């Protein structure tokens, strides 16, 4: 079976940057994010054995989301000064390793990843590597999640989404719309957290049904909060759903292939990755992409 691994690039770069506090090249440049990213990607590839692979990067905020909520993601701090140049270096690594990557101005990684996952034909298996809870709405029988916070390495399916949220994957967008998302600076209904949102969706099935039948909500306080926040909840649905964006699915461009050993050797030497250099020298060409 063809398996496409889609990696949330910025999520893993940030994770690597914060996991390894201090690592520098012989020239004194920071390399902690580069090293961590290379190692994490190699671990995923070894465990999942994808036939196709792409790393997707954020290209900026979606214009429609900003129009609907000007404060969307406004609370996020600036990228650490020592991380930005490492993203360029990671891009150089991906090129040398023969790994496809995507970034486009104004296209959020979440939206492109969602579109790509939907474009994959029947008979394929898709694994999205990210800790972003928005991706739980994409889970189907053939689309799973690899959450780096889950140390078991389990590929999340419907069962794991239900256990985490209390709702089915197809209800996740409504679940987020009700409770909001502090990570993206999206305010939810006051007093409605994950558990209450899940209970409401268990009773009513969807936000649309809930808003149409507010009189059936037993708590006076909750009913009033929902009534007062109805417009915001509808807005939130548009913010958290992952829309279609321009995306050409060309399997040949995503095919896993051997990397350029000479180019990888030059990069590793410049970064001072002696262990990776030694492993590269010991590996056959067909295994170079896993190092």
In three state form, how does the secondary structure of 32-97 look? HHHHHHHHHHHHHHHHHCCCEEEEECCCCCCHHHHHHCCCCCCCCCCCCCCCHHHHHHHHHHHHHH
Domains and CATH numbers, the chain: 3-161+243-290 (3.40.50.1010), 169-240 (1.10.150.20)
- % the chain with pLDDT above 70: 97
Of the pLDDT bands very low, low, confident and very high (cuts 50, 70, 90), residue 288 is: low
- The runs of H, that is alpha helices, within 78-229 are 84-97, 109-119, 158-165, 172-179, 194-204, 207-212, 220-228
Q: 290 pLDDT exceeds 70?
A: no
Average the pLDDT over 214-225 and give the result.
96
Exposure of 221 by Cβ count < 10 A (0-12 exposed, 13-18 middle, 19+ buried)? Answer: exposed
Q: 287 pLDDT exceeds 70?
A: no
Report pLDDT for 248. Answer: 84
Of the pLDDT bands very low, low, confident and very high (cuts 50, 70, 90), residue 289 is: low
What's the DSSP call for residue 135? Answer: G
Do residues 237 and 173 touch, judged by C-beta distance below 8 A? Answer: yes
Do residues 1 and 120 touch, judged by C-beta distance below 8 A? Answer: no
Nearest to 110 by CA among 18, 204, 208, 176: 176
Rounded to a whole number of angstroms, the CA Rg of the chain reads: 21
């Amino acid at each position: 079976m063809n398996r496409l691994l889609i990696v949330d690039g910025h999520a893993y770069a940030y994770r690597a940057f914060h996991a390894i506090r201090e690592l520098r090249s012989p020239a004194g440049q920071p390399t902690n994010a580069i090293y961590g990213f290379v190692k994490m990607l190699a671990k995923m590839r070894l465990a999942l054995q994808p036939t196709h692979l792409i790393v997707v990067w954020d290209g900026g905020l979606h214009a429609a989301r900003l129009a609907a909520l000007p404060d969307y993601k406004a609370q996020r701090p600036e990228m650490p000064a020592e991380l930005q140049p490492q993203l360029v270096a990671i891009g150089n690594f991906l090129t040398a390793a023969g790994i496809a990557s995507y970034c486009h101005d104004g296209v959020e990684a979440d939206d492109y990843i969602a579109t790509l996952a939907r474009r994959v034909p029947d008979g394929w298996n898709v694994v999205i590597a990210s800790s972003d809870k928005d991706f739980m709405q994409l889970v189907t029988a053939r689309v799973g999640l690899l959450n780096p916070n889950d140390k078991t390495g389990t590929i999340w399916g419907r069962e794991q989404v239900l256990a985490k949220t209390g709702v089915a994957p197809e209800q996740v967008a409504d679940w987020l719309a009700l409770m909001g998302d502090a990570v993206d600076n999206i305010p939810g209904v006051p007093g409605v957290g994950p558990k209450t949102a899940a209970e409401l969706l268990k009773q009513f099935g969807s936000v649309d049904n809930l808003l149409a039948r507010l009189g059936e909500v037993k708590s006076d306080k909750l009913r009033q909060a929902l009534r007062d926040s109805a417009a915001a909840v509808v807005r939130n649905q548009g913010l958290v759903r992952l829309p279609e964006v321009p995306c050409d699915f060309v399997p040949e461009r995503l095919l896993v292939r051997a990397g350029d050993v000479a180019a990888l050797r030059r990069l590793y030497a410049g970064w001072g990755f002696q262990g990776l250099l030694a492993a590269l020298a010991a590996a056959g060409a067909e295994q170079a992409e896993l190092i």
